[in-house]
């Protein structure tokens, strides 16, 4: 993502730690996809993609804060937020494909109706795929 380029202009006094938090979240997206791709099951891969989706949400939030604080040019900031949303949508599609493939091959997929799975709580609403 181009977040690194815009974060270079952040003034630490206006938003202490924002640049490092933004960069950590940006790196977490690709790191979780890469780690998930190396897992043994599609279900496990999908779990890591869910974490990547959460990181994309975090990146969008940090960029929005930077925009609100006037740390980023509005045009550039909005364009990068749009790219972040596009990445998140691709991740939702990847997760959906992984879960469908797992279900077709007989693996039990995590529930999407809010019920827990093997004692785990359901994902927060913010991590569920939005209706389009």
In degrees, to the nearest 5, what angle opens at C-alpha 127 toward C-alphas 122 and 131? 105
Q: Which residues contact 52 (CB under 8 A, 6 or more apart)?
A: 28, 29, 30, 32, 33, 36, 91
Answer yes or no: pTM beyond 0.85: no
To 10 degrees, what angle do helices 18-37 and 74-104 make? 20
* Gap between the Cα atoms of 10 and 46, Å rounded: 34
Look at 121 and 22; give whichever has higher pLDDT. 22
What is the maximal distance between C-alpha atoms in the chain? 54
Determine the Cα–Cα distance for residues 33 and 55; give it in Å rounded to an integer.
11
pLDDT tens for 32-57 read 999 999 999 999 999 999 999 999 99
Residue 120, SS3 per DSSP: strand
């Amino acid at each position: 993502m181009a977040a690194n380029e815009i974060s270079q202009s952040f003034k630490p006094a206006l938003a202490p730690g924002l640049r490092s938090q933004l960069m950590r979240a940006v790196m977490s997206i690709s790191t979780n996809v890469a780690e998930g791709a190396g897992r043994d099951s599609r279900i496990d891969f999908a779990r890591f993609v869910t974490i990547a989706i959460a990181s994309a949400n975090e990146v969008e939030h940090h960029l929005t804060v930077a925009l609100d604080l006037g740390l980023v040019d509005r045009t550039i900031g909005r364009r990068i937020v749009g790219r972040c949303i596009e990445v998140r949508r691709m991740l939702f599609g990847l997760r959906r494909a992984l879960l469908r493939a797992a279900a077709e091959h007989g693996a039990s997929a995590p529930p999407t109706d809010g019920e827990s799975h093997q004692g785990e709580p359901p994902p927060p609403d913010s991590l569920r795929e939005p209706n389009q």
